[in-house]
Amino acid sequence: MVSSTPALATTGQSRGLGARLGKLGRSYWRHRYLILMFLPGFALFLLFAYGPLYGIVIAFQNYSVVRGISGSSWVGLQNFTSLFSGPEFLHALRNTVVFAGLNLVVIFPAPIVLALLLNECRWKWFVRLVQTISYLPHFISWVVLAGILFQFFGQLGAVNAVLHVFGLPSQAWLYEPNKFYVIYVVSAIWAGVGWGAIIYIAALAGVDQQLYEAARVDGSSRLQRMRHVSLPGIAPTISIMFLLQISHFLAVGFDQIYNLMTPITQDSADILDTYVLRHVLSYDFSQGMAAAIFQSVIGLVLVFIGNRVVRRLDPDQSLW
Amino acid sequence: MTTHPTHNPVQVSRRGLLAAAAGIAGVTVFGTAACGSDDDTSKSTNSAAINYYYQPCGLKKGAYSMTEMQKTFGITFTDVYALSMDDYSTRFQTNLAQNKIPDVMAINGPDMLQKFAEQGAFGEVPVDFVRENAPKFAAGVDKYVPAAWSTTLFDGKNYGFPGIGGPGSRANAFTEWRSDLLEKAGVSGVPDTIDEYESAFAALKKIGVYGMSTNGQSFFGAFMTIFGAYGVLPMQWQVSGGKVVNDSVRPETKQALELLAAWYKKGYIDPECMGPDPSPKFVAGKVAMWDYGGPSDLDLTNAGGRLVAIRKTNPNGNIAFSAPMQGPGGRNGWTFGAAGWPVAFSPDAAKDKEKLKHVLQIWDRVWSDDELATRLSIGVEGTMYKLTDSAKGIAGGFEWIGKYVDPLARQAEGFNSYGAPFIGQPNWDIAASLAQPDPTAQQMIATYGKYARADLFENSMAVPGSGQYAADLQNLKVKAFSQIITGAAPLSSFDSFVSQWNAQGGSQLQKAANDLYQQTGGGKHK
Amino acid sequence: MAVPTATVAVSASGSLVEPPAAPGRRWRRRQRRTPGEWVLDIFIVVVLAVLAIATLYPFLFELTISLSTPADAQQSGLHILPTDPSTASWHAVLASSGILRAYLNTIARTVAATVLTVVLTAMMAYPLAQRSFPHRRLINFLLLFSMLFSGGFIPLFLLVKNLGLLDSRWSLVLPGAVAAMNVILMRNFFQAIPGELIDAARADGASEMRVLFRIILPLSKPVLAVVGLWTALANWNAWFDALLYINDPNKQVLQMFIRDTVLTQADPILGGTNPAMLGAAPTSQTLGAAAVMIATLPIIALYPFLQKYFARGILLGSVKG
């Protein structure tokens, strides 16, 4: 904001502690109304997001629900070492990274493309219809979605029927390890693209109409307008969503994979979450927490790097 | 995709699945579960005030069987939770976290009992005390499911008494054939031996039908009758050569796998049996044999029955039940044993001898008083049900009447589908009749279900350490067997599977199983 | 004070919504399309139509199963229309006593949580959108950190219990009221609003509250719609918090109610024990589908209702230039 520039200009200068406190005090005073406005939500946020956060220490305990955190014994890094030393850990980690990569490269851009296409479509009633329909799979559980996929890609399913028409042999789509990646990407886009596009549709609604007019007057084509007006217009949203996505890098679609994998494809499909589900002792919160912390720390490192890059490009779009 | 805002912690779904998995492990479920002390008053010495956990859910306030219970025994249920099996362990753990340990509780599986006994959630109750105060029930356990006594043990101490499933829980899934397809393929009768299966499958292949399908993803159900024909039921503990071994790693298992791999290669087995629900192909007439049927499949009045579904599209469709395949190891089907949810006491309640006695006496009375158990399990004749043959009594079968035709309405009164009352369990003389009102179905269970074989310990989870290793081993087994059967891995990989099995906890479990076997005198508790 | 602020807002939204869009459309119609444009148009429509059919299908499938007899539900096939329509499963779920109360409880929590979330989130995001706001980076980091790490459900349960919120409807509303992701997104949108608008209002003596509610929020309808939609859906579908915090059947929410009703019947299947004893097994598929439909149909109607806020041209850029 324009009004804040003078304040920023002075931050770089080194001063004494007293001066800094004085400056902080003046900043508090100057923002007193904003602070008052900010506090109710922030207090609620701190209470419920950080209040229970002490629970992560159970990753370093042999936690007993009965004894509670104060009564449980400390085991150091044992939960982590047993997590990492499990027989299929490296395998699951490798698969998880592959799926996470597919998430970023193929699945993440899909809702952006959908939003751009919707934006370009001339028939507004059609746009509204497609928007409403495309988010429906979000309401259907993966158990049902997977059941449908198994039927469609099955021996008697529509996909193989189409292959037959073209004289091609039918494929066991869901029962071959190397095809699992295809199924993963297709089904993830199918089930999530409409839901994911909502935020970009909203962002496109915020793009300045006059920029489109100006571009048209300049005689640019629709593709050019898409590239030079729409895309830059929603770039801030894309960058934020991208940062949030890499913060959950290792948290790939558990329900999806769990329901789509078969014993035959398990070697390709096994991810950290399915591994933990099996490997972790029943009712063992400590091991589960150790796994969650591992995933979160990786996410934190990645988002830290990503945020640095973004901040250098445009400080306004960084996460912090 | 983008995440939508939710404040449920990350682990929720994972935990839910774990809980569900544990529920499946805790199998032969009888419907009742324990008293929970939800307020401080119930921690007093008033042995008549009891709080309850009830599973399954759907119980209404003032439910019939609950009210009857209070009247009969002069007790008060101060609070009743009605929970589904899925939600049981979550609720249970939040109660533990607030130090509100129920006085008495049904624990969903011996593995869960072991886990929480280790944490100090339960009080020790000597077996002798149980035998003294529930003598008739104890005699029943000795008679029918002696191995069940091991389900309440942890680290040499006893933490309550076993809950045992009804005799129906020994009944297995049936082998069922599309007899119309067999006829069409020119096969006379229903195949019985391996050779007969083989030639029937070959004939079926000629008419474009797969010989068989199965729940390929199931750790217990996958090809159970084929393994059973070799005398093994993978994942069960059995005695072989004087030692307790797991059926997953025996040489006979490898032989069965060899046969299955050969059949698969010849195209006798539906490749989609490894998918989530292979049964629709049986209904559609693409598969001739399905190994997971039940009496309701033949029932033409059952709207959800398989035969009704088949006749929808094929009026000539028919189903014939058969005994499991006959092989070198006889014929066997898989069943979960009758040792179900153990009943444990809180440390406080374990000190309150009066309360302990009271609960044990209730359990004993329900077990020994058939009239009472019937009333508590299915209600009043003429109001809730009517007898098919009043001369034969409940054994002649019964029919729900009025609004009680709806299972939800029955649930609301505290009548569950296991034919067990609100607390306690009926004697095995009537338990099967209470759980299965239709005498024809009972007859079928007696004919085709009798080949079902249970684990040596009547519940494989009774082996200490199961909670830690079983899930991993189940997964290892399902994966290795599927890959061998479908040809993704050679038969020789069975040997590396065995060493992997041992390395991932199989050896420890085998040692624990043998110790338990010694300790309990061959499954029978001393 | 009120008068000048109002003028700014009116001029903003007034010139924004209608004038630029309408002439644009007319202008576009007059222009002759190149063959390339035609190809692009057809391509877009085809892609969107395929997507619409593919994404409509699972919902249609579930709807059809819910209206099928259990025997039909077991058939293989597309299940696009019920061959032998039966409302038995709908009846079974709808006839459960207490479902109406469960509906009302869910509506109450959804409305309360959505209003509270949108208001509190906007009040948090607006100060954070000011680059001079003290400790801005620290707070933003705290927001992100909370998305990555959580203490599990037991500490959260104990917190809610110690606050005395067990069995209170607030236990369903307060813990999730401020989600970091919503704050981050809203802050991001607010940052894109031209500073001149705010400065002008401030110069006119408008309070910060007034700036937020009279200038920022009217210009931010798309993001408010997104946050409102996400919050409403998350609350409508939530059951785990109700499982933890609510014992009183009179306060039980719809999802938990349906879960109990359907799971009661599905339990034997989950148990996997005695298929020989199960009469009702295949009915649970139709019952489950009916439960999903009954629970989701009302909330699905929310999206078309909010769509007008996604219509083009709400934010006026002319002020900037």
**Each residue's pLDDT tens digit, B320-337:** 999 999 999 999 998 888
- From chain B residues 443-482, the ones with a CB under 8 A of any chain A CB are 467-468, 471-472, 475, 478-479, 481-482
Query: Do B340 and B165 meet the contact criterion of CB atoms below 8 Å apart?
Result: yes
Is C200 part of the contact surface with chain A (CB cutoff 8 Å)? no
Query: What is the share, in percent, of chain B residues with pLDDT greater than 70?
Result: 85
- B418: confidence class by pLDDT, cuts 50, 70, 90: confident
Q: What is the DSSP letter of C318?
A: T
**Segment holding B380, helix H or strand E:** none
Contacts of C177 in chain A (CB under 8 A): 41, 44, 48
Contacts of A259 in chain B (CB under 8 A): 276
Nearest partner of B122 among A64, A284, C245, A73, judged by Cα: A64
User: Which of B424, B448, B472 finishes a domain?
Assistant: B448
Please name the residue of chain B whose CA is at the shortest distance from the CA of residue A284.
B115
Query: Stretch B257-262: mean pLDDT, rounded?
Result: 98
pLDDT in tens, C18-53: 333 444 444 444 456 678 778 888 999 999 999 999
The residues with which A85 forms a beta bridge, in sequence order, are none
The answer on pLDDT for A108 being more than 70 is yes
Contacts of A135 in chain C (CB under 8 A): 55, 303
User: Which of B402, B421, B448 finishes a domain?
Assistant: B448
Cα separation, B407 vs B478, in Å, equals 34
Q: Check the CA dihedral C111-A199-A316-A303 and report its sign.
A: positive
| Non-local CB neighbours of C104 within 8 Å, separated by 6+ positions | none
For residue B296, the model assigns a pLDDT of 80
pLDDT in tens, A271-307: 988 888 776 655 678 888 998 999 999 999 999 999 9
For residue A285, the model assigns a pLDDT of 83
The answer on pLDDT for C2 being more than 80 is no
Q: Torsion angle, CA of C211/C214/C216/C221, rounded to 10 degrees?
A: 160
Contacts of C56 in chain A (CB under 8 A): 133, 136
Q: C307 and C211 share a domain? A: yes
Q: Examine residue C241 and state whether it is found in any structural domain, yes or no.
A: yes
- Decide the pairing of beta strands B157-158 and B237-240: unpaired
Query: Do B334 and B233 meet the contact criterion of CB atoms below 8 Å apart?
Result: yes
Query: Do B27 and B336 meet the contact criterion of CB atoms below 8 Å apart?
Result: yes
Q: C39 and C178 share a domain? A: no
pLDDT in tens, C185-239: 999 889 888 888 888 888 988 899 999 998 899 889 899 999 999 999 999 999 9
Whether omega before C175 lies within 30 degrees of 0, making that bond cis, reads no
Six-digit token string for A281: 């002792």
The answer on pLDDT for C183 being more than 90 is yes
> Which residue blocks in B170-292 are alpha helix, DSSP H?
179-184, 194-206, 224-229, 251-266, 280-283
- B34: confidence class by pLDDT, cuts 50, 70, 90: very low
Q: Examine residue C128 and state whether it is found in any structural domain, yes or no.
A: yes
Question: Where do we find the tokens 């035998």?
Answer: B131
Q: Residue C157: which domain range? A: 96-280+297-318
pTM of the model: 0.85
Nearest partner of B121 among B89, B74, B85, B84, judged by Cα: B89
Q: B184 and B309 share a domain? A: yes
Q: B260 and B404 share a domain? A: no
State the CATH number of the domain containing residue C228. Answer: 1.10.3720.10
Q: Examine residue B71 and state whether it is found in any structural domain, yes or no.
A: yes
> Which residue blocks in chain C are alpha helix, DSSP H?
2-17, 21-30, 35-66, 70-73, 88-94, 99-129, 136-148, 153-162, 170-173, 180-191, 195-203, 208-210, 217-219, 221-237, 240-245, 254-271, 283-300, 302-306
Q: B201 and B225 share a domain? A: yes
Nearest partner of C277 among B448, B133, A132, B24, judged by Cα: B448
- A-C Cβ pairs (cutoff 8 Å, strict): 298
Which of A3, A38, A237 comes nearest C188 by C-beta? A237
Cα separation, C320 vs C194, in Å, equals 6
Nearest partner of B149 among B125, B172, B121, judged by Cα: B125
pLDDT in tens, B100-149: 887 888 787 888 888 889 888 899 999 999 999 999 999 999 998 888 89
Query: Do B428 and B37 meet the contact criterion of CB atoms below 8 Å apart?
Result: no
CB within 8 Å: B312 and C72: yes
- The more confident residue out of C278 and C144 is C144
Q: What is the DSSP letter of B526?
A: -
For residue C23, the model assigns a pLDDT of 42
For residue B335, the model assigns a pLDDT of 84
The answer on pLDDT for B430 being more than 50 is yes
Please name the residue of chain A whose CA is at the shortest distance from the CA of residue B487.
A264
Cα separation, B146 vs B254, in Å, equals 31
CB within 8 Å: B168 and C276: yes
Q: B390 and B327 share a domain? A: no
Which of C153, C158, C182 comes nearest B12 by C-beta? C153
Q: C176 and C309 share a domain? A: yes
Q: Residue B20: which domain range? A: 12-169+338-448
- B23: confidence class by pLDDT, cuts 50, 70, 90: very low
Give me the residue spans of the domains in chain A: 5-69, 77-317
Least confident among A3-17, B352-366, C109-123, C128-142: A3-17
Number of domains in chain C: 2
- Decide the pairing of beta strands B385-387 and B243-246: unpaired
The residues with which B177 forms a beta bridge, in sequence order, are B289, B320
Six-digit token string for B110: 């011996």
Q: Examine residue B526 and state whether it is found in any structural domain, yes or no.
A: no
pLDDT in tens, A60-76: 998 888 888 999 999 99
The answer on pLDDT for B375 being more than 70 is yes
Q: Examine residue C178 and state whether it is found in any structural domain, yes or no.
A: yes
User: Which of B427, B448, B469 finishes a domain?
Assistant: B448
pLDDT in tens, C258-301: 887 766 554 433 333 333 334 344 567 788 888 889 998 988 88
Q: B381 and B308 share a domain? A: no
Number of domains in chain B: 2
Please name the residue of chain C whose CA is at the shortest distance from the CA of residue A115.
C48
Residue-averaged pLDDT of chain B:
83
For residue B146, the model assigns a pLDDT of 86
Q: B304 and B353 share a domain? A: no
Six-digit token string for A172: 């066991």
pLDDT in tens, B280-322: 899 999 999 999 888 888 888 877 788 999 998 899 999 999 9
Q: Examine residue C9 and state whether it is found in any structural domain, yes or no.
A: no
CB within 8 Å: C132 and A132: no
Cα angle C300, C305, C310 (rounded to 5 degrees) comes to 110
- From chain B residues 8-67, the ones with a CB under 8 A of any chain A CB are 10-11, 13-15, 17-18, 21-22, 25
CB within 8 Å: B482 and A263: yes
Q: Examine residue C143 and state whether it is found in any structural domain, yes or no.
A: yes
Note the Cα B286 to chain centre separation in Å: 29
Q: C81 and C108 share a domain? A: no
CB within 8 Å: A66 and B486: no
CB within 8 Å: A288 and B472: no
Query: Which chains touch B (3+ CB pairs under 8 A)?
Result: A, C
Question: Where do we find the tokens 């029919």?
Answer: B399
Is C15 part of the contact surface with chain A (CB cutoff 8 Å)? no
CB within 8 Å: C268 and B417: yes
Cα separation, B484 vs B493, in Å, equals 8
Q: B426 and B393 share a domain? A: yes
CB within 8 Å: A174 and B500: no
How many angstroms separate the CA of residue A215 from the nearest CA in chain B? Answer: 31
State the CATH number of the domain containing residue B187. Answer: 3.40.190.10
Query: Stretch A105-125: mean pLDDT, rounded?
Result: 93
Q: What is the 3-state secondary structure (H, E, C) of A12-54?
A: CCCCCHHHHHHHHHHHHHHCHHHHHHHHHHHHHHHHHHHHHHH
Is C6 part of the contact surface with chain A (CB cutoff 8 Å)? no
Burial of C80 (0-12, 13-18, 19+ CB in 10 A): exposed
The answer on pLDDT for C321 being more than 50 is no
pLDDT in tens, A151-193: 889 888 888 888 989 988 888 889 988 899 999 999 999 999 9
- B-C Cβ pairs (cutoff 8 Å, strict): 187
CB within 8 Å: C152 and A31: no
CB within 8 Å: B408 and C260: no
Which of C56, C208, C320 comes nearest A33 by C-beta? C208
User: How far is the CA of C239 from the CAs of A55, B307, C158, C210, in angstroms?
Assistant: 22, 37, 18, 37
Q: Examine residue C286 and state whether it is found in any structural domain, yes or no.
A: no
Query: Which chains touch C (3+ CB pairs under 8 A)?
Result: A, B
Cα separation, A205 vs C16, in Å, equals 11
pLDDT in tens, B440-473: 888 888 888 888 888 898 888 889 888 888 888 9
Q: Check the CA dihedral B148-B150-B152-B158 and report its sign.
A: positive
How many angstroms separate the CA of residue A254 from the nearest CA in chain C? Answer: 16
pLDDT in tens, A196-250: 999 999 999 888 788 888 888 888 888 888 899 999 989 999 999 999 999 989 9
Query: Stretch C248-254: mean pLDDT, rounded?
Result: 88
CB within 8 Å: C304 and A132: yes
Q: B232 and B143 share a domain? A: no
Task: State ipTM.
Answer: 0.87
Question: Where do we find the tokens 């009712």?
Answer: A283
- B182: confidence class by pLDDT, cuts 50, 70, 90: very high
How many angstroms separate the CA of residue C130 from the nearest CA in chain A? Answer: 7
User: Which of C17, C52, C86 finishes a domain?
Assistant: C86
CB within 8 Å: C304 and A144: no
Query: Do B217 and A258 meet the contact criterion of CB atoms below 8 Å apart?
Result: no
Which of B89, B216, B504 comes nearest A87 by C-beta? B504
Residue-averaged pLDDT of chain C:
80
Six-digit token string for C88: 């038995």
Neighbours of B186 (CB within 10 A): 11
Q: C171 and C274 share a domain? A: yes
For residue A211, the model assigns a pLDDT of 85
CB within 8 Å: B5 and C264: no
CB within 8 Å: A37 and C209: yes
Q: C75 and C207 share a domain? A: no
User: Which of C56, C86, C116 finishes a domain?
Assistant: C86
Cα separation, C152 vs B448, in Å, equals 47
Note the Cα A76 to chain centre separation in Å: 31
Is C35 part of the contact surface with chain A (CB cutoff 8 Å)? no
Cα separation, B48 vs C182, in Å, equals 52
Q: What is the 3-state secondary structure (H, E, C) of chain A?
A: CHHHHHHHHHHCCCCCHHHHHHHHHHHHHHCHHHHHHHHHHHHHHHHHHHHHHHHHHHHHEECCCCCHHHHCEECCCHHHHHHHCCCCHHHHHHHHHHHHHHHHHHHCHHHHHHHHHHHHCCCHHHHHHHHHHHCHHHHCCHHHHHHHHHHHCCCCCHHHHHHHHCCCCCCCHHHCHHHHHHHHHHHHHHHHHHHHHHHHHHHHHCCCHHHHHHHHHCCCCHHHHHHHHHHHHHHHHHHHHHHHHHHCCCCCCHHHHHHHCCCCCHHHHCCHHHHHHHHCCCCCHHHHHHHHHHHHHHHHHHHHHHHHHHHHHCHHHCCC
CB within 8 Å: C48 and A126: yes
Please name the residue of chain A whose CA is at the shortest distance from the CA of residue B474.
A278
Nearest partner of A220 among C316, C23, C34, judged by Cα: C34
Q: C128 and C245 share a domain? A: yes
Query: What is the share, in percent, of chain C residues with pLDDT greater than 90?
Result: 43
- The more confident residue out of A38 and B50 is A38
Q: A77-317: what fold? A: MetI-like fold (1.10.3720)
pLDDT in tens, B51-99: 655 555 667 778 898 889 888 988 887 666 666 767 777 888 888 888 8
For residue B42, the model assigns a pLDDT of 37
Cα separation, C242 vs B15, in Å, equals 16
Q: C183 and C157 share a domain? A: yes
- From chain A residues 40-99, the ones with a CB under 8 A of any chain C CB are 40-42, 44-56, 58, 65, 69
- Using DSSP's 3-state secondary structure scheme, residue B246 falls into strand
Cα separation, A110 vs A103, in Å, equals 10
